[in-house]
Structure 1
Amino acid sequence: MLTPAVKYLKDHKIDFKEYEYECTVDHDYGKFAAKALNLNPKMVYKSIVLVFEKTFITAVTPVDAMISLKSAARLLKLKSLEIASPQDAQRITGYVIGGLSPFGQKRQTKILLCQSALEFDEILVSGGRRGYSVGINPNDIVSATNATVGDFLDHKS
């Protein structure tokens, strides 16, 4: 199945690998993917939509980490950020929760990539549907989406 994310990657000639698994959960999709694919959770990333007023941002972060909204806002030079409602995230990106990809969004959001991604040659992000991930070099995420890279994790937890 050609998702908008895969179409985007192919159209932009970005190398990626496909990973499929049966998704049998209705929360913690990224952690489930890491376990189902027997991968280090530090190299499997989730996409969370954040919002400030009418500005939407997709934060791409390790599945085993929490976001510091203050740090993310500071990186983007915004007053504050909050997590978008699932309904808004789906409406803006065109993807269902658990299948939200930083690529091929209906209304492309600004991408915020956790700097820890750059420690790996390949990280996994959603390929545009539950149970389907793409492995990609994090530098390709930066160049393909003009992502802002930085540390916006909550280090207290």
Structure 2
Amino acid sequence: MSIELTGRERVRADAAARGVEIEFVDRGPASSLPEAAANLGVEPRNIVKTLVAKAKLTQTTTEYSYVIALIPGDKAVDWAKLRRLAGMKKMSMASPEEGFEASGYMPGTINPFGLRNQLPIYADESITGRIAMGAGEPDLNLFVDAEQLFAAFEVTTGDIGK
């Protein structure tokens, strides 16, 4: 009988296995990214949103895969730029249900650590330094060094924001 780990436990175990230092912070409830940033004492650009995107290699295929996009809190994903970087013909935001199925986390808690399925990760090149992101559970964030995170996951960086 296997015991299901909490989101925080999954994140902690994966970060430790990858040798990445993280710090958990109980952020408290927030109804928006600016409110979450204020609770954490950081600028919105220092919170990195982890989005699950649904991707197709060709226009006509019925099969699709998922990728993770990391984007600063003060930007949005430019889907055309992300498609080019990822080499995909079609790409869009996954539904909350699809995002949960692909990552094992609910929207707002998604992060690269402890994903249900290992997914390719693409990040906006402007992400640097100490960043905050979801941490697998509501009202919880983690802080991590962007370079350490990108190295641990072999993240592909490029200009994907607008």
Query: Is 2:133 aligned against 1:125?
Result: yes
Q: Which residue of 1 aligns with 2:12?
A: 6
Question: TM (normalized to structure 1)?
Answer: 0.88
Where structure 1 has 5 or more consecutive residues not aligned to the other structure, the ranges are: none
Match runs of 1:1-157 below 5 Å: 2-25=8-31, 28=32, 30-53=33-56, 54-118=64-128, 120=129, 122-154=130-162
Q: Deviations over 1:88-114 (max 9, x none)?
A: 000110001111111110012111111
Percent sequence identity over aligned pairs: 20
Equivalent residue letter for 2:104: G
Q: Does the residue aligned with 1:78 lie in a helix, a strand or coil?
A: coil
Tell me how far 1:145 sits from its aligned partner.
1.0
C-alpha distance in 1, partners of 2:78/2:55? 14
Tell me how far 1:61 sits from its aligned partner.
0.7
Equivalent residue letter for 1:110: P
How many residues were matched structurally?
Answer: 149
Equivalent residue letter for 1:63: G
C-alpha distance in 2, partners of 1:102/1:31? 22
Where structure 2 has 5 or more consecutive residues not aligned to the other structure, the ranges are: 1-5, 57-63
Tell me how far 1:84 sits from its aligned partner.
0.6
C-alpha distance in 2, partners of 1:89/1:113? 17
